[in-house]
Homo-oligomer: A and B are copies of this chain.
Amino acid sequence: MSDDVNATIRSLATGVKAASVEMAKASSAVKDAALLAMAEAIEADAAILKAENALDLAAGRAAGLSDALLDRLTLTDARIAGMADGLRQVAALPDPVGAIMSGWTRPNGLRIAKVRVPLGVVVIIYESRPNVTADAAALCIKSGNGVILRGGKEAIRSNVAIWKGLGRGLAAAGLPADAIGLVETTDRAAIGVLCTADDLVDVIIPRGGEGLIRYVVQNATVPVIKHYKGTCHVYVDAAADLEMAERICLNAKCQRPGVCNAMETMLVHEAVAEDFLPRMLARFQEAGVEIRGCERTRQIVPDGVVVATEADWPEEYLDLILAVRVVGSTDEAIRHIATHGSGHTEAIVTTDVREADRFTQGVDSAAVFVNASTRFTDGFEFGLGAEIGISTDKLHARGPMGIEELTTYKFVVHGDGQLRE
């Protein structure tokens, strides 16, 4: 790594850390005023944002980015308005900081309060969508943190332009613009520096491809919360309402196949497989879904089902592809999920309360649904107001992470001279 990158990034992080001390003390009123001013700045800068974005898009086209990537990268008037709206929505959320999470008095009179406080400095690493720059910054500011943003290199001009507006908004409310830092170099070495800046960074949240996340996990000494892959399952039990199962599976796979809470593998109890699979797979095939089935699936539906290999079971397709397996019991479904799943989201469709309980207890995932689509694992859908990501880790936060999950606590203890005996 070049000394330059190291010095630049550590200097950036030092500034954010100093600003984070001010952020931790800022009142809700001031933070909300900043978020509203950030929204206004984004709107005022619309022409600049589109001009910078056009340069990113031109570079992206020249570099041969796919249409899907170019679409994600594009800032339209509607998307700019969406960023501003997002900032205003976060301003309207309740402030988590300062909440007394619990408190009690000890026999010796010590009064213990567990008080919610910001984490400090949060690093968010993300990919092509430039609106994440505003969304992620908003959540970190609301929760009283400093934040270091590191977006994808293909969006660098758009991200810098958005970031400048956010800084103006902070300053307008009397908060330090340094509370939001942005990595302006596209050198990947910057991530390595942030991963080991234990003295300056409190947590790293990598969002994006598996390769990026593995790189961060391998290299980080700073704590990491992983927004990892979602190999989500729907299990259609022997006692399922098969009409409901059809609607749920279709929704879980097809409503938006490119996201982490979409179904990737459908498990079907053998007792209903012959009834359910022909009509379900016909609907999937109508919807353009490629089916990769186990041997029993292919016996029941011989036409148009590709052979599933062992490599299919853990796969996150993020596409109109579905793995299908017939299982002998709820326990077999649970074992399949334990072996091949990613701990993100699984669902059972059943009318039998015993099987529902067996499944919700036996499956070790962030979210376990009974009779609903996996697509609901999402901060907005859970009512958390907004989300910074979906944790597939078990520590600190699991599943959809809102602003509360960007906080920690400290114990504030009042006494009147108590001594330890």
> Quick check: B383 and A413 within 8 Å, CB to CB?
no
> Quick check: B360 and A412 within 8 Å, CB to CB?
yes
Cβ contact of A370, chosen from B217, B218, B414, cutoff 8 A: B414
Copies of this protein, total: 2
Residues of B within 8 A of A256 (CB): 420
Given A395-B203, A415-B370, A417-B248, are A376 and B110 neighbors across the interface (CB < 8 Å)?
yes
Tell me which of A34-42, A49-57, A131-139, A403-411 binds B. Answer: A403-411
Cβ contact of A395, chosen from B223, B244, B376, B419, cutoff 8 A: B223
Distance (whole angstroms) from the CB of A402 to the closest CB of chain B: 12
Interface size class of A (residues with CB under 8 A): 35 or more
> Quick check: B217 and A221 within 8 Å, CB to CB?
yes
Residues of B within 8 A of A218 (CB): 221
Residues of B within 8 A of A400 (CB): 411
> Quick check: B221 and A371 within 8 Å, CB to CB?
no
> Quick check: A410 and B372 within 8 Å, CB to CB?
no
Where chain A touches its partner, the secondary structure class is mixed
- 16 sampled A-B residue pairs with Cβ under 8 A: A110-B381, A202-B394, A217-B221, A223-B224, A247-B417, A248-B419, A367-B411, A367-B412, A368-B412, A368-B413, A369-B414, A369-B415, A370-B415, A372-B418, A373-B419, A398-B410
Known: A368-B411, A370-B413. 9 other contacts (CB 8 A): A110-B372, A120-B364, A255-B419, A255-B420, A365-B410, A366-B410, A373-B418, A382-B411, A398-B410
Give the 3 A-B CB pairs with smallest separation, nearest first: A372-B415, A375-B420, A251-B419
A binding-site residues for B, Cβ under 8 Å: 21, 24-25, 104, 106, 110, 112, 117, 119-120, 198, 202-203, 217-218, 221, 223-225, 241, 244, 247-248, 251, 255-256, 338, 356, 360-362, 364-373, 375-377, 381-383, 393-396, 398-400, 408-420
